[in-house]
Chain A
């Protein structure tokens, strides 16, 4: 995929709604170009093509490989799992920590979890076609806007030094749940891709 194509692909996935996306795909454009003779007909046929594309898309997408936005090289999959386990284990074995250290440790674990989620999100994004990427982007944006609210709602020690520890603990738990969800989807996507590859073998 060229840089230009990648940019266009990502831009489409992020900003363009489903209707416009269908209107712009090659299938619909080809029909519109071939069938239009004058402006009125073009307009009508164009509209018809969009609707047709909407109706035919499931069948169409089975025959033609969907466009994907390659974000990172496929083999690049950094892991923070070991770092997370190390910080958690270290915090368990430490017996003489102050409130400040405990709060910092909790915040570190929350940051690491968030970074793990970021990695899973990018890797999942990588496996999706442009339409699905746009949907995941929106879903994640909505989830992010609620995460802070949910974490804050679980804080009982408002105005105390326990507040940031309670907050980061809740933040980490909520993020962990989302991470598990995205990893499940990633696994499903991986299995589906593998099956497609197996089927396409001669």
Chain B
């Protein structure tokens, strides 16, 4: 998938808006959810949310190694992340929050980290299945961030083939977006239904034939994205 820097930036900005309400994303965002492997409360942190019992240790290690403003006070916590609960450690949470809000180094580290976690796997999946269009990249990247990938059970709900299997790219993307929209809109969790603003955005762009993401601005949940 050969995206221009602007096309990649548009994809990231749109998903940032979906996730945090702002184009830049919220690098200092901290939430506590009881969604650990055994229902433990855990810290969820950063622009695209990584978790204490997931990959937070890797992110903080990257930041410590990058010699940011808060790297030294965060250094002792690296070995503790995932090994002992830090969910109630106010000092740790404040350091993360301050680093995300005030240190450009943390922002760069998160950009690299989330690129590796979400954008690169999404583009690998797209390449592997023969997708080439920037709007396809946006749809696949969004699924990677939102659902951790292209969901198999959704693929089984429509007949289209991926381009690498001889299918038409635009047809497959449209069917996937429609199916995803249907799933989200009718989900048993009523709060989750609200996330159809994502698929609605993609449908609008398909309807105006904006497959190159060249018609700007793009309305992402009420925020104009220009790249």
Contact = CB atoms under 8 A, between A and B. Distances in A.
B145 A167 contact: no
A99 B146 contact: yes
B82 interface: no
Interface in A122-161: 147-148, 151-152, 156-161
A102 B191 contact: yes
A168 interface: yes
Given A163-B35, A171-B34, A156 B151 contact: yes
B163 interface: no
Contacts of A163: 35, 148
Nearest to B190: A92
A62 interface: no
B90 to A, nearest CB: 19
B191 A148 contact: no
Contacts of B195: 99, 102, 162, 165
A165 B31 contact: no
Contacts of A104: 31
Given A110-B34, A163-B35, A157 B146 contact: yes
A100 interface: yes
B166 interface: no
A91 interface: yes
Q: Which of A148, A151, A161, A166 has the most CB of B within 10 A?
A: A161
A116 interface: no
Contacts of A176: none
Q: Which of B35, B143, B149, B222 has the most CB of A within 10 A?
A: B35
Interface in A75-98: 91-92, 96-98
A70 interface: no
A156 B143 CA distance: 12
A167 B222 contact: no
Interface string B140-162: 00011111110101000000000
Contacts of A101: 21
B20 A160 contact: no
A169 B33 contact: no
B147 A100 contact: no
Interface in A165-188: 165-171, 173
Interface of A: 91-92, 96-107, 109-111, 147-148, 151-152, 156-171, 173
Given A92-B190, A169-B188, 10 more contacts: A98-B19, A102-B195, A106-B192, A148-B38, A156-B153, A163-B148, A164-B44, A165-B192, A168-B34, A169-B191
21 contacts: A96-B21, A98-B21, A99-B195, A100-B20, A100-B26, A100-B31, A102-B192, A102-B194, A103-B33, A111-B34, A157-B146, A157-B148, A159-B149, A161-B19, A162-B146, A164-B49, A165-B192, A167-B33, A169-B191, A170-B189, A173-B188
